[in-house]
Amino acid sequence: MQVTVLGAGIIGVSTAWHLLQRGHEVTLVDRQTDAALETSFANAAQISVSYCEPWANKDAPLKTLKWMFSDESPLLFRPQLDWAQWRWGLQFLAQCNDAAFERNVAQLVALGSYSHAALKAVVADTGIEYHRLERGIAHYYTDQKSFDGAAEAAAVMQRFGVKRRVVSRSELLTIEPALQAFADRIVGGTYTQSDESGDARTFTQQLATLCGQRGARLMFGHDIERLDSDGREIREVRVRDRQSGLARVLKSDAFVVACGSYSTPLLKSVGVDVPIYPGKGYSATLPLLKPDQAPSVSMIDDQLKIAVSRLGNQLRVAGTIELGGFDLSLDTPLAKKRCEMLVRRIEQVFPGVADTRTPEQGGDPQFWCGLRPATPTNIPLIGRTKLRKLWINAGHGTLGWTHGAGSGKALAELIHGERPAMDFGFYGMPSDAQTAPVSARLRVAQPPGQA
Ligand SMILES: Cc1cc2nc3c(=O)[nH]c(=O)nc-3n(C[C@H](O)[C@H](O)[C@H](O)COP(=O)(O)OP(=O)(O)OC[C@H]3O[C@@H](n4cnc5c(N)ncnc54)[C@H](O)[C@@H]3O)c2cc1C
């Protein structure tokens, strides 16, 4: 079967890889000059099966309201004259209760475990190197009240089979001695040894290269301008070469939309309405001055809700969410404040370990921002749209790197007519494909004409 994958972030590339593995002919299209140059470029690098709590919980509405008045808050709702934003907000509010939270966690853990196994298999098959560190993720708390709640969060994860456990300050320091200078502020933490970290961009770009070597047609530098449908099925996709200006029409047996946050406007043009809204986040990548004193365990700072990962001789700190449309600016006062906050925290927690000087002071922090493709549930849309031949793999929000390998594999399986072996609600799929016995791989019935 010929399959065209639209978007070459971690999700699109992983989908392409797994389709090739199943013997399909793949075309991969992206407007950028390489894979992973948008949201998959400089994220927090965590493969966090255990830290997958959805944003929507019973405390979220009040917190979000309070946070609206602080430029440095972890989640900032910036109201726009945009119905899509308000509708997303209302759908999010509907998820802010215990029942929805549990339901959503169950799905995220199922996909996380499946994806972690898929990632390990891809790494074993390909030997890709991407500053991978299998040292776990530690979550440190500086506030006793929040730490008291950590046991409850760990218990939720343990119920779903994730070995996240509460650790004392002294145990945390044994797990990651680099926290020593900040020890006085820490009241305790949680730790999951099975989690890991690594550079999503390097991984994705190398996997895209391997896709090319396995025969995929890589069409970088092409804008996807339009999907054409007759109301029942997708006919073709119109793309334009950014350099030459030449337009091309792509025909295929199946098309996969994996354009992150931009999947929403693209799909809307053919009447497919998906609740994916951009959640802007920032990162700073800093050169290490004292590599031997830098952390190798990936971290979550509970107070600021930011994550820190070591990538070779650099330290990456990332976080914060802004719901305010498709804004990728880094030079506004708000963006600068949020970037500075990330770097300031690194100097507080790991003093002198990384070069935290500003460019004005002669430093070279690499600031970046990206748009998380967020759904109100945090659960990505992996499956079939109402139009024949048109599939979706998007909406991975905060966890696209964690869920990347598994989402690509699962969609490739669905397109191939297989049933992914996990309990997960696939988008637009018949109910017998929604959940699966963990051991079995049954064929999924295809409606007539469905690619
Ligand atoms: C600050 C931050 C920290 C994060 N930390 C983590 C983390 O630690 N762990 C984790 O699991 N996840 C993390 N994430 C989330 C993760 O990065 C995303 O979920 C993931 O990158 C989404 O991948 P994607 O392939 O869906 O989107 P993208 O990487 O954005 O890929 C979509 C592709 O589609 C292309 N495209 C879009 N529209 C068009 C068009 N019209 N024409 C042509 N091409 C188009 C784009 O060029 C892009 O390459 C973080 C995100 C942010 C912002």
Q: What is the pLDDT along the chain (451 residues), one digit of tens a residue?
A: 999 999 999 999 999 999 999 999 999 999 999 999 999 999 999 999 998 989 888 988 888 888 877 777 888 888 888 999 999 999 999 999 999 999 999 999 999 999 999 999 999 999 999 999 999 999 999 999 999 989 988 998 999 889 999 999 999 999 999 999 999 999 999 999 999 999 999 999 999 999 999 999 999 999 999 999 999 999 999 999 999 999 999 999 999 999 999 999 999 999 999 999 999 999 999 999 999 999 999 999 999 999 999 999 999 999 999 999 999 999 999 999 999 999 999 999 999 999 999 888 999 999 999 999 999 999 999 999 999 999 999 999 999 999 999 999 999 999 999 999 999 999 998 764 444 433 333 333 333 333 3
Q: Residue 361, SS3?
A: helix
The C-alpha atoms of residue 278 and residue 258 are separated, in whole angstroms, by 14
Tally of residues, the chain: 451
Exposed/middle/buried for residue 275 (C-beta within 10 Å: 0-12, 13-18, 19+): middle
Return the ligand 1 atom nearest residue 259 CA.
34
Query: CATH 3.30.9.10: which residues of the chain?
Result: 54-81+132-196+277-374
Q: Residue 166, SS3?
A: strand
Protein residues with CB under 6 Å of any ligand 1 atom? 7-12, 30-32, 36-40, 43-46, 48, 223-224, 258-260, 262, 281-283, 307, 318, 370, 372-373, 394, 396-402
Contacts of 173 (CB under 8 A, 6+ apart): 179, 180, 183
Measured torsion, CA atoms of residues 62, 55, 301, 318, in degrees rounded to the nearest 10: -120
What pTM, to 2 d.p., does this model score?
A: 0.95
N-terminal to C-terminal alpha carbon distance within the chain: 8
Nearest partner of 276 among 7, 63, 72, 50, judged by Cα: 7
The residue whose C-alpha atom lies closest to atom 40 belonging to ligand 1 is: 224
Query: CATH 3.50.50.60: which residues of the chain?
Result: 1-53+97-131+197-276+378-451
Pocket probe for ligand 1: among 5, 256, 262, the residue whose CB has the most ligand atoms within 8 Å is 262
Fold held by 54-81+132-196+277-374: D-Amino Acid Oxidase; Chain A, domain 2 (3.30.9)
The C-alpha atoms of residue 102 and residue 57 are separated, in whole angstroms, by 9
The C-alpha atoms of residue 316 and residue 298 are separated, in whole angstroms, by 10
CATH architecture of 1-53+97-131+197-276+378-451: 3-Layer(bba) Sandwich (3.50)
The rounded Cα 163 to chain-centroid distance in angstroms is 21
Q: Which helix (H) or strand (E) holds 406?
A: helix 400-416
